[in-house]
A = this chain, B = another copy of it.
Amino acid sequence: MSAQEMALPKPTPIQIFETVQGYQRAFALKAAVELDLFTAIARGSHTAAEIAQACQASERGVRILSDSMVVMGFLTKAGNRYSLTPDPAFFLDRQSPAYLGHSLKFLLHPTHMARFEGLPGAVRRGGSSGEDATLSPEDPIWVEFARGMVPLIIPAAEAIAGILESELAARPSVKILDIAASHGIFGLTAAKRLPRAHVYALDWVNVLEVAQANARQMGMAERYHLLPGSAFEVDFGAGFDAVLITNFLHHFDPAENEKLLKKTHAALNPGGQVILLEFVPNEDRVSPPVPALFSLTMLGSTPRGDAYTLPEYAVACRNAGFNAPKLIPLEQMPQSLVVARKPV
């Protein structure tokens, strides 16, 4: 063996093995949430025996599951006592207002997982096949999404509301269009800060029931208007001060997005803004990890969707008549805002 060969680290299959076992980590986290392990620990159970009693599970099963949560960074272990790390204490304790346990149902939905088993076909064709795509009108998966994902998007909703508040608070009337409104929380969070704002929420009719229920619960039903149907087909109306397009454009190809941005442009008042919430990887497309990997999620689950870079959004915005967009990264979230203005 030469000196050069000796200097090279020996190849090891460990990283391959860890990647392959990634599905077990995902299911372990889902199981811990389903069994309310994090809630039990937050309520004062710390040993496997105590947690097992609180979760009505076996001590052996809880010990192994809890150890796996320590390996993944969601718990710490001192002797035989488990404690929560900050993220699961905030997001996975059912008593927390930010509890996002329900969202795991959407993220690990069997429809999604089954589609990834067919990933080689999606790579060959360049996208997930049409017939089993997630995007069929009124797919019940979007209702689960609307219910489950709310806690995940609160920081983004607050950031968007902040932008709109600073811009529109002084106006006597405000019209906001919320495309792919889902749970409605983006538009509603803005409307809460802008008491004169009317929100027009667009989504599939069954999803809008969730949004409307939230509008009622937040006391904004009278300022909340429904536009049921496809964003590509429904008439938006006109005279909007802002249009929100959140977690939506990644489902489509650049031509479809340009079409939608042109339609958005037409519905906006001069000087109005379109605000996108998106996974925006760097131009290298391989960083940061979460936005970069979101491209794979779209390959596996949509016919032509992708995670687009800022220069790609800049082309689409320019072609649709907008000024150059600016990127606003969000603390605590893997997504960013992309904001573009219709020239006055």
Contacts and interface: CB of A to CB of B under 8 A. Distances in A.
Contacts of A18: 289-290
Contact of A290 (B14, B289, B299): B14
A46 interface: no
Contacts of A297: 21, 24
Interface residues of A, number: 90
B16 A91 contact: yes
A35 B333 contact: no
Identify which of A12, A14, A122, A333 gathers the most chain B CB atoms within 10 Å of its CB. A12
A286 B58 contact: no
The SS class assigned to the A binding surface is helix
A23 B26 contact: yes
Contacts of A126: 57-61
A172 interface: no
Interface string A32-44: 0011000000000
Contacts of A73: 15
A123 interface: yes
Interface in A1-50: 8-31, 34-35
A83 to B, nearest CB: 13
A100 interface: yes
Interface stretch (A63-71, A264-272, A310-318): A63-71
Identify which of A8, A16, A62, A295 gathers the most chain B CB atoms within 10 Å of its CB. A16
Nearest to A62: B123
A213 to B, nearest CB: 24
Contacts of A57: 123-124, 126
A68 B292 contact: yes
Given A86-B8, A126-B61, A286-B77, A24 B100 contact: no
A35 to B, nearest CB: 6
Contacts of A9: 86
A126 to B, nearest CB: 3
A289 B70 CA distance: 9
3 A-B pairs with the lowest CB-CB distances in the bound complex, closest first: A22-B22, A58-B126, A61-B123
